Amino acid sequence: MFTKFKRGNRFAVASLAYLSVLFLIALIVAAFVKSNSHFKQVVLSEMQEDYTWTLLVTGDVMLGRTVNTRTIQKNDFAWAFKNTADFLKSADLTFINLESPLVENCPQTDTGMIFCEDVRHVEGLKFASIDIASVANNHSLNYGEKGLKNTKEILQSEGVLPVGITNPKYTKVKGIKIALLGFDDVECYPNYIECAGEENVKNDIKEASQNSDLVIVMFSWGVEYTDSPNKRQVDLAHLAIDSGADLILGNHPHWIQPEEIYKGKLIKYSHGNFIFDQMWSEETRKGVIGKYTFKGTELEDHEYVSVKIYDYGQPAFE
């Protein structure tokens, strides 16, 4: 005679069988992990190393005016980078704000606010392994549309990615697709470079976020010779992060400005000067190189390495 199980008994038996299977699986996994712990540690270590990469970001780079004349006198277009090149080369990516267009027959001068640099300065950029240069700043049109076009073409021909003419641009590091954008909020030329109008910032970054794994934005913004960001800088930085940016980098004030963490994302408002001929004050002679260390798409660590400018254009570590 068959005994009928009540519904509760059936459920209890099924639950017991299910738990027994889970327990058996757990025992098998534990045995495997114990016997293969060394193998697993090695694999994990290799994965962590493989997906760790660094981005270096300098303060303003202006290779014109007295930097240009000094370099030509020395007949060494790597001169400005001699003390810092090894460090710059150590990164997976190095990103600068280039404040002087590359111009054929650039006039030699130590005065004025119309900047240009001898086209041979691209040799210095190559020497220091500069990967990306934002040209979205108030000096990009100092030599007109032709000067901007020449700058773009020369940079591209030597493997330096110009950003800020049209956003976004993309590059890859260890399989990670990175979107790079540049915006000018100082004296912008909307038909030639990317301006930091709210809608433009929002739309460009949203497009970049949809087509990449990581979004890095450089702004030329703020007030010169000030040590803290103004409301406009803060508002733009927050808007950029709200729109999908992962890291905000600032330049133009020529003084170092602080950082901020907003919604878990880092904002560095100004890196100060890196290569410039502003020897007339301590503040304008100083800058930091931001070292941003990522694990995959996550910013894991960052630090700032101090530099000081000597001889009207050559930074050295402090």
Residues 26 and 169 grouped into a single domain = no
Report how far residue 16's alpha carbon sits from residue 11's, in angstroms, rounded to the nearest whole number. Answer: 9
pLDDT at residue 121 tops 50:
yes
Tokens 């040799």 found at = 123
Which range of residues forms the domain containing residue 80?
49-317
Q: What is the DSSP-derived secondary structure letter of residue 156? A: H
Residues 17 and 102 grouped into a single domain = no
Residues 27 and 150 grouped into a single domain = no
pLDDT at residue 185 tops 80:
yes
Residues 62 and 193 grouped into a single domain = yes
Residue type, 235: D
Tell me the sheet residues that pair with 220.
184, 251
Strand runs labelled E in 119-264 = 132-134, 161-163, 169-173, 176-184, 214-220, 247-251, 256-262
The pLDDT tens digits of the residues spanning 250-282 come to 999 999 999 999 999 999 999 999 999 999 999
Residues 82 and 153 grouped into a single domain = yes
pLDDT at residue 180 tops 70:
yes
Q: What is the DSSP-derived secondary structure letter of residue 195? A: B
Residues 26 and 54 grouped into a single domain = no
Residues 17 and 64 grouped into a single domain = no
Is residue 209 left, alpha or beta, with left meaning phi > 0 and alpha meaning psi from -120 to 50? Answer: alpha
pLDDT at residue 5 tops 90:
no
- What mean pLDDT do residues 142-162 have? 98
Q: What is the DSSP-derived secondary structure letter of residue 272? A: B
